[in-house]
């Protein structure tokens, strides 16, 4: 029994590795589908492999042609059967003490002895997603980092000056209509129309890395990296005793490499906080000059500031004048009976368009949705 306990992994770990293996075999699975899978398992329970099978089949598979590979991967990962077994030996096969599948089930495996069974004890994925980062242990944080690496942030779109053709009767494209008339002896037979195209609105991220934010900043930097992946219209800075630009360092696709480079570039991790001076430096050197104009600015901070709160108010007002909107995510906002009493937070609040939580994976998902609107 002790050997069984030593080999035991949480169900969440198995769920995530199962999704990863499906992706590696070519099945396309979105982050939303993988989360739905975890919630479905929570709802159905994990009393049998049949419950796990149908929870995954209904949430992860969208194309009929993926069903055969799904069945093969399922038997290999959960029951240790089939040619894929060597690829999933990183985790022990997970079986069920109360597995009462029908005799004709394609997943029945009578070769298992009682000593091979693992009793299922799992941390609820839904609970983990809503758990405050400051209350997560190292293993739970690793699970959350794994989920954050799968975030693909689309971003808000805005109208551009560039015109594109459209079938809708928006704006008459005189030039193209005249050119096409050359094929019909100068008579405009077909009218062409155009409208303003769209492009993604620039997003600027300012992450507070002061001592009061230490627990959250180590997690939120992962979120910042996930948001930046594959995009050229995102800028990232850290705020502490100084302002540090990390756009180049965090643009690397590999999260471990990106975070290592960011760590080497930032000299004031877990130091003091001078929000006002940091925002002023951003305004003077980047924001007002163009980077923040028409952009969405996201500030991730608890609002604690050792500097002059009047500077915070003044610089936030300057920043708000040129931005599309300012979103402030405060990890402490989720605290019951929270009030923005920190002087930096109180000074900034009148110049914030959206004041939201930033203490859990669920809050970051909500934040991503908000920023995409």
Q: Which residue has the higher pLDDT, 64 or 171?
A: 64
DSSP track, 148-201: HTT------EEEEEEEEEESSSSEE-HHHHHHHHGGGTT---S--EEEEEEEEP
Residue 90 has pLDDT above 50, yes or no: no
For residue 76 the two structure tokens come to 């290999």
pLDDT tens string 229-238: 867 789 999 9
For residue 54, which of 65, 40, 73 has the smallest C-alpha distance? 40
For residue 155 the two structure tokens come to 């971003």
Fold held by 201-372 = Rossmann fold (3.40.50)
Amino acid 246: pLDDT: 95
Amino acid 300: pLDDT: 97
Average pLDDT over residues 33-56: 79
Average pLDDT over residues 221-228: 91
Residue 259 has pLDDT above 80, yes or no: yes
Helix (H, G, I), strand (E, B) or coil at 237: strand
Average pLDDT over residues 260-277: 87
For residue 54, which of 73, 37, 78 has the smallest C-alpha distance? 37
Model confidence band, residue 196 (pLDDT cutoffs 50, 70, 90) = low
Amino acid 122: pLDDT: 38
Q: Where are the alpha helices (DSSP H) in the chain?
A: 2-7, 11-24, 31-44, 49-60, 67-79, 125-130, 138-148, 174-181, 214-228, 247-250, 255-265, 275-282, 309-322, 343-348, 361-372
Cβ contact 232:238 at 8 Å: no
Residue 189 has pLDDT above 60, yes or no: no
Of 117-126, 144-153, 190-199, 358-367, give the lowest mean pLDDT range. 117-126
Q: Which residue has the higher pLDDT, 175 or 276?
A: 276
- Identify the H or E element spanning 244: strand 243-245
Amino acid 359: pLDDT: 94
pTM: 0.62
Average pLDDT over residues 335-358: 93
Residue 342 has pLDDT above 60, yes or no: yes
Rounded-to-integer distance, Cα 217 and Cα 283, Å: 22
Residue 100 has pLDDT above 80, yes or no: no
Q: Which residue has the higher pLDDT, 172 or 123?
A: 172
Give the residue extent of every domain in the chain: 2-130, 159-198, 201-372
Model confidence band, residue 175 (pLDDT cutoffs 50, 70, 90) = low
Amino acid 156: pLDDT: 61
Q: Which of 102-106, 183-187, 227-231 has the highest mean pLDDT?
A: 227-231
pLDDT tens string 197-206: 566 789 999 9
Rg (CA), the chain: 26
Residue 310 has pLDDT above 70, yes or no: yes
């Amino acid at each position: 029994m002790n050997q069984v306990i030593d080999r035991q992994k949480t169900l969440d770990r198995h769920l995530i590795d199962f999704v990863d293996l499906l992706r590696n075999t070519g099945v396309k699975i979105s982050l939303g589908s993988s989360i739905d899978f975890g919630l479905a398992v929570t709802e159905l329970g994990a009393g049998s492999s049949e419950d796990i099978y149908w929870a995954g089949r209904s949430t992860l598979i969208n194309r009929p042609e993926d069903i055969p590979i799904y069945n093969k991967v399922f038997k290999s990962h959960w029951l240790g059967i089939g040619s894929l077994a060597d690829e999933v030996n990183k985790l022990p096969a997970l079986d069920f003490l109360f597995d009462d599948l029908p005799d004709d089930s394609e997943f029945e495996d009578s070769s298992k002895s009682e000593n091979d069974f693992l009793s299922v004890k799992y941390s609820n994925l839904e609970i983990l997603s809503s758990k405050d980062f400051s209350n997560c242990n190292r293993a739970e944080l690793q699970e959350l980092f794994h989920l954050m690496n799968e975030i693909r942030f689309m971003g808000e779109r805005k109208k551009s000056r560039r015109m594109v053709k459209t079938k809708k009767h928006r704006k008459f494209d005189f030039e193209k209509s005249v050119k096409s008339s050359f094929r019909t002896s100068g008579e405009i037979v077909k009218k062409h129309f155009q409208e303003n195209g769209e492009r993604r609105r620039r997003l600027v991220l300012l992450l507070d890395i002061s001592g009061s934010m230490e627990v959250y900043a180590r997690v939120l930097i992962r979120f910042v990296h996930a948001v930046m992946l594959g995009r050229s219209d995102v800028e990232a800075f850290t705020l502490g005793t100084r302002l540090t630009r990390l756009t180049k360092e965090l643009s690397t696709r590999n999260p471990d490499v990106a975070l290592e480079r960011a760590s080497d570039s930032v000299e004031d991790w877990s130091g003091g906080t001078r929000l006002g001076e940091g925002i002023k430096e951003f305004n003077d050197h980047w924001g007002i000059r163009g980077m923040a104009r028409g952009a969405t600015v996201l500030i991730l901070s608890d609002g604690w500031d050792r500097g002059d709160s009047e500077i915070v108010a003044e610089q936030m007002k300057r920043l708000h004048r040129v931005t599309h909107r300012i979103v402030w995510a405060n990890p402490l906002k989720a605290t019951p009976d929270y009030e923005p009493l920190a002087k930096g937070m109180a000074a900034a609040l009148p110049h914030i368009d959206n004041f939201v939580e930033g203490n859990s994976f669920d809050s970051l998902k909500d934040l991503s949705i908000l920023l995409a609107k």
